[in-house]
A and B are shown apart, each in its own frame.
Chain A
Amino acid sequence: MVELQNPFKKITSLDVALEQLHDGMTIMFGGFGGVGSPPTLIEGMIAKNLTDLTLIGNDTGFPQIGIGKIVSQGRVRKIIASHIGSNPIAGRLMNEGRLEVEFSPQGTLVERIRAGGMGLGAILSDVGIDNEIVSAGKKRIELNGRTYLVEPALTAQVSIVYAKKADPYGNLIYDKSARNTNPLVAMAGNFTIAEVEEIVPLGSLSPEEIVTPGVFVDMIILSSGVNWKWAWE
């Protein structure tokens, strides 16, 4: 086996990656119902005993799947998500006033994340304009005869994502529906850690197939693999 070169010093260990994460931080995570969430980083965050986190991501997973593990342990102060229904513990913590939840419609949420990653300030959308929860406190703008809500862009101190393959520059490709929010989340972190199933030599990914250019990725760690049982198992 050829030893993997690390010319960009991005390939590192879980322990070094965890040095980037601290109590009270705003952390954005990839994944949809746990599919495509980084299992090794999540386990490491629990082992590091991180608390008082603000999380941004599609949903709260299931109680023992994906980011749900962190939410279920009461380590999160606030989450911005589109759905918490598959994690009853999240609902209970919200009702008890121990977890603040900001709901954003799924398509709007990912556009807000994309806008953050693309250096924009906000997006305009009419989705949820008739809904008091979605429209509460948001500015309205008339444009070309239509009314839109101003939906602020989202960024995070650190983003954590899961990908199938990375090269040493951090170029990423994903696996089937585990892509979901990951390419957007990868761009919206001030510092992005990618957990990957496989690290391949520089030049072995075709430039045509790369989904996330490595410029958006600051650290790469090798995944220990999914360590939860899926809901259907």
Chain B
Amino acid sequence: MGLNLDVRNKMAKRAAEEITDGMVVNLGIGIPSLVPNHLPETMTVMFHAENGILGMGPSPATGKEDGNLCNAGGFPVTVVPGASYFDSVTAFGMIRRGKIDVSILGSLQVSSTGDLANWIIPGKKVPGMGGAMELASKANKLIVLMNHTDKTGRPKILEKCTLPLTAKKCVDLIITELAVFEIVNEKLMLIQHFHTTTVDEIISKTACDILIAENLKVIDF
């Protein structure tokens, strides 16, 4: 069962709080693409696309699309003043060189030590890693936005990932429809939860030990 738009936007709104003025940000497809809708209009953020754009703007109006101006997912975008176009080598040089302040990705599984598995389900879905390995291992801060459990209700936050890894010890923050976790020194800490859930529910749906922050906060939107 997917998450309804309202819950997805709540997760995106929480993720938007991690972005500050002047940052360079790369967004994955799915829920991460909703994050810009929750940033203040006055904020200057340069959105990076791994196909060669720095300074992506909102989607164009219907009829104004340009087939030669698309994001990495193949959908039409616009650019903001100060934007630049470049080749794929330069796009990935920016990532490996640490020029991306925040990368926000979806995931299949995350381990309590911050390992990320988001590119392959052996025997089922083998789409290829695309640029996920570079973004996961080289972005200065990696935020995962994902459902707390999979379609059959199994936890996606685990002691150890069972799926092949995209990168080890790379996740800094996990935001689900239930809670927000920080991973510091390979320890998973619950720092916030949405007002719609309880700590007990979170623990029951998470397949590893959780530290609970002393100043645990409740998100009231």
Q: Which residues of A contact B (CB under 8 A)?
A: 32-36, 58-59, 62, 81-86, 91, 94-95, 101, 103, 105-108, 110-111, 114, 125-128, 130-134, 164, 174-184, 211, 226, 230-233
Contact = CB atoms under 8 A, between A and B. Distances in A.
B89 A114 contact: yes
Contact of A107 (B69, B73, B96, B168): B96
Contact of A103 (B69, B85, B128, B134): B128
Interface of B: 49-53, 65-76, 85-89, 91-93, 95-96, 120, 125-131, 133-134, 137-138, 164-168
Q: Which of B50, B76, B128, B134 has the most CB of A within 10 A?
A: B128
Contacts of B52: 32, 177, 179-180
Contacts of B125: 85, 91
A86 B71 CA distance: 14
Contact of A127 (B69, B73, B134, B164): B134
A35 B134 contact: no
A23 B65 CA distance: 37
Given A180-B51, A183-B87, A105 B72 contact: no
A29 B52 CA distance: 17
A232 B76 contact: yes
Contacts of B164: 131-133
B133 A33 contact: no
Contacts of A36: 68
Contacts of A101: 128
Contact of B131 (A107, A133, A174): A107
Nearest to B75: A232
Contacts of A81: 128
Given A35-B51, A133-B164, A180-B51, A105 B87 contact: no
Given A107-B92, A177-B51, A177-B69, A85 B74 contact: no
Q: Which of B52, B92, B134 has the most CB of A within 10 A?
A: B52
Contacts of A179: 52, 85-87
Given A107-B88, A133-B120, 7 more contacts: A58-B88, A101-B128, A128-B129, A176-B66, A177-B52, A180-B51, A233-B65
A177 B68 contact: yes
B126 A94 contact: yes
A119 to B, nearest CB: 15
Q: Which of B52, B88, B137 has the most CB of A within 10 A?
A: B88
Contacts of A182: 87
A105 B68 CA distance: 23
Contacts of B87: 110, 179-184, 211
A183 B86 CA distance: 10
A103 B129 contact: yes
A30 to B, nearest CB: 10
A128 to B, nearest CB: 5
Contacts of A232: 65, 74-76
B127 A130 contact: no
29 contacts: A32-B51, A32-B72, A33-B74, A35-B70, A36-B68, A62-B74, A81-B128, A83-B128, A84-B126, A84-B127, A85-B125, A85-B130, A86-B127, A95-B126, A105-B129, A106-B92, A106-B134, A107-B50, A108-B134, A126-B137, A130-B167, A131-B133, A177-B70, A178-B67, A180-B52, A181-B88, A184-B88, A184-B89, A231-B74
A111 B53 contact: no
A113 to B, nearest CB: 8
Contact of A35 (B67, B166, B167): B67
A62 B127 CA distance: 12
A196 to B, nearest CB: 13
B129 A82 contact: yes
Given A35-B67, A177-B52, A59 B130 contact: yes
Contacts of B93: 107
Contacts of B166: 131
Nearest to A130: B168
Contact of A180 (B88, B133, B138): B88
Contacts of A107: 50, 88-89, 91-93, 95-96, 131, 134
A175 B52 CA distance: 11
